[in-house]
Chains A and B, each alone.
Chain A
Amino acid sequence: MMHMSKPTVAVKSVIIRFAGDSGDGMQLTGDRFTMDTASLGNDISTLPNFPAEIRAPQGTLPGVSSFQLHFADHHVRTAGDAPDVLVAMNPAALKANIKDIPRGATIIVDKDEFTTRNLSKVGYETNPLEDDSLSSYKIHAVALTSMTVAALAALPLSRKEAERAKNMFALGLLSWMYHRPTEATEAFLKAKFGKKPDILEANLIAYRTGWNYGETSEDFATSYEVAPAHMPPGVYRNIGGNIALAYGLIAGAKQAKLQLFLGSYPITPASDILHELSKHKKFGVITFQAEDEIAAVGSALGASYGGALGVTTTSGPGIALKSEMIGLGVMLELPLIIVDVQRGGPSTGLPTKTEQADLLQVMFGRNGESPAAVISASTPSDCFTMAIEAVRIATTYRVPVFLLSDGYIANGSEPWKIPDVTVLPDLSVDFAKSQEGFLPYDRDPKTLARPWAIPGTKGIEHRIGGIEKQDKTGEINYEPANHDFMVRTRQAKIDGIEVPDIEVDDPTNDAKVLFLGWGSTYGPIASAVETLRNNGEKIAQAHLKYINPFPKNLGAVLEKYDKVITPEMNLGQLAMLLRSKYLKDIVGYNMVRGLPFTTAELVEAAMGVLHND
């Protein structure tokens, strides 16, 4: 790291939001700052937030992309409610984000971008850097663009190319402010632009110039230090949900000794799982980019029929298209994993924003009585664990399993203690063997699973299909009693899936109110619970990862508390399931803004329930 000479102030946690045009490289800037921060041992949580348009018109509000990260010397649960620092690369980024920035916070802007034209594009009548509107903030108006261009004058680059390196100037400046190490980013740039020496040089110079600017400019008098967080010993990396999910599928297939077959159709925000798995063919992974969502799940089911681990990855609209095929999976009783990285709906909805409104779709969105297993990941790294669980359930019970993630945990990231691969569960499966008198729908009495009878096995040739089947033989059967029996058997199989009990965090064991969440609300709820307890409140927390079936102890847990609050980024879907199954009233806290909950709003919601009776 370069030598620092200015006074340093120690702080416990910092929330930074990088914001700019969607072409300004804010996601990359945020990613790099995250990596450099993680390696210092801080705990981190991140929240990328970007528009659905790839390049909305430059300098406009719809084109603003941002990346927020929260890092601290202690455990952090969310990307934070209110940024301490906003880096705004243009007036649009300032205007789009200023409402989230608390007074007293630091705002760093690229003053070169505050031209009359750019200001009027977003409806600023006067320049906010010159009127008094930002007087309650610490403003650093830095000539980011012109200093970057000047620093690169010696390189054979067009002005446009030189300007493009300004995000690295900003990264360099923030790295100086927060004492981030520079080696990893320099190595990253060398790897990324190794084949384009001029662009590499430009990025390195801009990065170092930004760092040096912090060190020498009188505008920046102080830098800040955040000590490492106390984390359990081990080897760590930073990981996002989609990558963790892809790794979990690879690990699960390996533990099951099955070939992983992914049939997928590109869709935001799930595509990165397809991208990631397509890199790992050396694990024997087959990725098939199908012609549509239906073919994606169809090919996965076909692969499962042949004895592979069939997986499809999508988001809500894709689930709607796949529904009939998933119903066939229910009928054929074959392993199938359907990953739903949820986004805002209905219809195309908010493709790049998060939501949890597919729960009832995956539970019930098929014709007939068509039960499937449903599990959900609660944090980015939990996607790894739950992907392995999806493999366990699908292969043990031979059923379609929905694994729910969402845009927040798919794109967000956190430090992950890398698991020891030698302690992953053994998920080996048995295929049906050659035999006389084979019955394709004869069941294992414990799991109710039927044999996984794959082509190529002599003597067990048989026919299956989507028409109702006779118990045991699997032959077509339309008899009333048989259909009733088969419907109930398929339901009983899902109901009988073994899942771990839900754990309740209730330190004094006498709280009256339970915060019960599922999915990506884990972080905001845990953060709110921490705040409430620090304020002397008694509140319990539990998080559901298994939704169909529910854990066996869930009814008793709900019974124990006077009130249960369930925050969901939908209009109360889990609450509906809980009420109908357990006849327990649930206090919903429901918002569908395309953004995760803030800690503050959940604290407020809980205070209302704790003290309003």
Chain B
Amino acid sequence: MTSTTSSADASPPPIFPLHADHLVLNLALIALLLPLACFVLLALVWPLRRAGRLAGWLSATVAVISFGASARLLMLVVGGEAPLTETVGWLVRDGKVIASMGVHIDGISASMLAVVTLVAACVQVYSLGYMAEDSLPAQGRYFTYHSLFITAMGGLVLAPNLLQLFAGWELVGLCSYLLIGFYWAKPSAGQAAVKAFWVTKFADMGLIVGLLALYGATGTFAWDAHLVGIWATAVPALLFMGVMGKSAQVPLHIWLPDAMEGPTPVSALLHAATMVAAGVYLIVRAYPLFELAPSLLLAMTWIGASTALIAAATAIVQDDIKKVLAYSTCSQLGYMIAALGSGQIMGGYFHLTTHAFFKSLLFLGAGAAIHAVHSNDIHDMGGLWKTTRISALLFITGSLALVGVPIFAGFFSKDLILEEMLEAGQYVPVAMLVLGAGLTAFYMTRVIVIAYFGDAAEGAEHAHEAPWTMLLPMGALGLLAVGAGFGGDLLATLWGQQYHFGMTPIGITTSVIGLGGIALGIMRYGTSTWTADLLGGLRGFILSGPVDRFWDSAWRQGLLPFAQVVGWFDRYIVDGLINMVAWLFIFLADRIKRFQTGRAQDYVFAVVLGVVAFIAYGMVGA
């Protein structure tokens, strides 16, 4: 990695150099600070915030400009601009920088910033349509939080050291909390918000201690610091604990499905494309640290692969379209973590970017469907192919990208991961991931067949197509869901690596298994005439005799029980354990409450008891 981190400079850093001619730096600052200005404006000028629509347009415009700046920045970096780090001392002691903040611009951060601002701009424009039915002050609040999120995420991405990354990390967590609990009238939203914050904060405990240990061992918060001895394993392991919370890895993934209580565009931006990927981004950034801990990398591979498989299996039995996508996000993050664990940073990062596009597209598509029928349940949808043709097409495009059908984006990144992992000799995890790909194809097909081609449910016959503000950003993401896979070369240039795509055995295998999953899904759920027409002959053959019995038993005795067991385990054991810990604390707190009797003589007695204990210690101990 060619980072030129200067956060450990001995000399006191200069005041932020705002060179009029330094385009790269200025673009980064525009992308970062314009949303901040928008947030401050909306937070302080309450008539503007309460105006709602105006606040929304302002916020969306700022997001688009922010994307424009980051796109130009990315072009400059691709064009060969040298990596750049500008920091300003945040906390300096005796000429030694304890904490600094600033921007670090290289291929990784510039491309991630472009992805974040692009998805953010799309989601904000989409929200203008999606949130139109909410009250104006509520819309104002929504866009205020959104602007804060872009700044926080930008600060995380451009962080020149792990401390600033952590600061951004906590702020995006706060935005997530506020946005999950956005629909305050629903009690479940409040519970989900608290749960999300609490679980991720629990994981952040590791991150905090890891950062302190890093500083204690090396005297800097730089991600390319040189660690030795036990710290070489302990520090990245502690950091990884934070990653597991933020990027929803088993068993700390339990907050993500609940987080779907937030507005759907929020799920698209925070809980699919950007914020949950921050954990993966942290590993990519701090890879020089992780590299030193082979045992941790191995554990990461297994945790990632398990998450990919378990979450995919759980997604099969969900009826809430957003929950399906949430488990799918866990699962895809598992792919990335597994790739990073096997040392394939390029593959993991590539999948992060493509996933950001197609998963946010899927969420926006799901949002359009929910917008049309006012329900999250796929069984309440049905027949949306007829009524909302454009968003249906876009949703299917996103699904094909997720499943990894050739030429769609997900195919390239998933293929790269599996290919590289296979070369690294990770056979069992690769098998788990390939199986996960099959399950992915199956659950997405299930959603599409039921929600878009199934018999129209009551109320879904007269669903209306989404307004242009929603369709336009979906279209943009749709193009990327198809085309982003061809960006591998660009990404490889940024990384200074070679990337040649070729059809490999593992790619073909995965594609075949994916198509198998699709076929299985259509056969299992496709009851309408459309599927009968399309697959008439094929279906006739497959459903006859032994083939049918094979599939049927595979479904009844294999997949379904497996998915149900995993889902049950997830709901009651993993979730239950965490709930039990919380309950235990509250129980304990209730119990010890009786020591606080409220009687003054007891208080004095406690004082005397303390003094006696002191004296006893003094006599015995000293």
Q: Do A and B come from one complex?
A: no
Residues in chain A within 8 A of chain B (CB atoms): none
